[in-house]
Structure 1
Amino acid sequence: MENEGYDPMRWLNDRGYDAWILEYTVAGSSSIRPIYPKPQEEALEAVRQIRAQDRVRILGIWGWSAGGHLAAVTATSPAAALDFAILAYPVISMEPGTAHMGSMRNLIGEDAQPEIRHQMSAQTRVTSETPPTFIFHTANDDSVSVQNSLLFAASMAAHRCPFEILILPSGPHGVGLALNDLKTSWTEELYRWLQNHTPKP
């Protein structure tokens, strides 16, 4: 929660952005597996509640790892109508060979029907209406393959949607903001992108 929740929230706040943290259903907090579609429903409800406050001009979503999958699925949902997305070393695919097996088991189960695998593979959900997206990964991520980010970027390109992808050559999964690590720090590029894709706070 600190590394991929409170730290990013403070980083955004310091730059004039409002930020909320969504504590959504994960396998560890639920005795029922698979947990689909509960996280997806909770994310859409969070979007609805934030918009109901009528305090933001634009609204985006930022997710990390398995939360990156939830962010990607939400960003590609017409019901969310989000303005931008940030995906940090995200799980994207639910297809065998690319999927992060733990995430797939927890979310949809190993025996999920092909149509559910397809529906929950975020790269298949991209349309021309998908909002601008910033994608970050490291090439040697040994937990969630960088192929996930590449799949999503390829779909964005195929639909001519604005995106930026930053792949650093080396860094562990879960690196977070890496503010004090020159080798894996990436937030300067993210902030430049945010300034170009969001109104000035």
Structure 2
Amino acid sequence: MPRYKQLIFLGLMASGALAGCASNQAAEQDGARGRPPGEAIRPEQGANEEVTRQDANGDGRPDVWTYTVDGRKVRQELDLNWDGRVDLTRYFDATGDKARESLDLDFDGRVDATYFYEKGVNTRRERDTNGDGRADSFTYYEAGKLVRKERDTRGTGRIDYWEYWENGQVDRIGEDLDRDGTVDKWTRNPDNTARE
């Protein structure tokens, strides 16, 4: 692939993956409070993994690391903002399809969001929105369409907010008001005319 196409490709990936990034300051404050750090964006290289490095922007430093085992790609790491650190790690299944992507949105070296795939299609997204090292926002997709969102809005490790989507809009919202893990209040979308 010509160098200019590589740069355009990486630029587009960076703008899409890093849109809406949180600040690094929030992550540092959470670390100072003793919260768990979360999963590292760049795992240790396995003994049986071979790595190929690529300098996509021509600055003399690698920007893309591709890991293979017996010639099969198992993982790829990308430095999207060219600061010398990995921002996105992709994992591949035995057939070569993307199985998972981990993103470091605040550039602290830890995973903030993880996207899960089945046969290369996104089925679930998890995000740590408060920087405590645990996912607290979950989004589910079926056949490429958003069907449900769940959140732990209080940081308790328990889901307390649910959104169910139909035809591209919220159909109903469930809330756990007494913190027992079950919905206490349902709110329907009065504008969702797609319901029968």
Q: Which of structures 1 and 2 has the larger relative contact order (alpha carbons within 8 angstroms, sep 6+)?
A: 1
- TM score, norm. by length of structure 2: 0.26
- TM score, norm. by length of structure 1: 0.26
